[in-house]
């Protein structure tokens, strides 16, 4: 699980890359869930929350950039 402090250190391009990877993983997890092949159901929650953390950071950075 990515802690918020670890995500704050990353640059914008790294966050975008990680967001893409997590969205791909989320898609695969949804597919596995639909076919009843999901090994770790808790991973769905972790991925979803990490995506939300990254999006929150991106929004904060964009609003801080527009104010400056």
Model pLDDT for residues 14-65, shown as the tens digit of each residue: 999 999 999 999 999 999 999 999 999 999 999 999 999 999 999 999 998 8
Are 50 and 2 within 8 A, CB to CB?
yes
Q: At what angle do helices 12-34 and 42-67 cross, to 10 degrees?
A: 150
Pick from 61, 64, 49, 48: nearest CA to 14: 61
Distance CA 48, CA 45 (A): 5
Q: What ranges do the domains of the chain cover?
A: 4-67
Single pTM value for the model: 0.89
Which tokens sit at 7? 């995500």
Return the SS3 of 10: coil
> The domain 4-67 is classified under which CATH number: 1.10.287.310, 1.10.1040.10, 3.40.50.300, 1.10.10.10?
1.10.287.310
């Amino acid at each position: 699980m990515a802690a918020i402090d670890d995500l704050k250190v990353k640059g914008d391009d790294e966050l975008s890359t990680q967001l893409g990877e997590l969205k791909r993983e989320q898609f695969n997890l949804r597919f596995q869930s639909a076919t009843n092949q999901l090994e770790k159901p808790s991973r769905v929650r972790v991925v979803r929350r990490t995506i939300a953390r990254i999006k929150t950071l991106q929004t904060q950075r964009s609003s801080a950039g527009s104010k400056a």
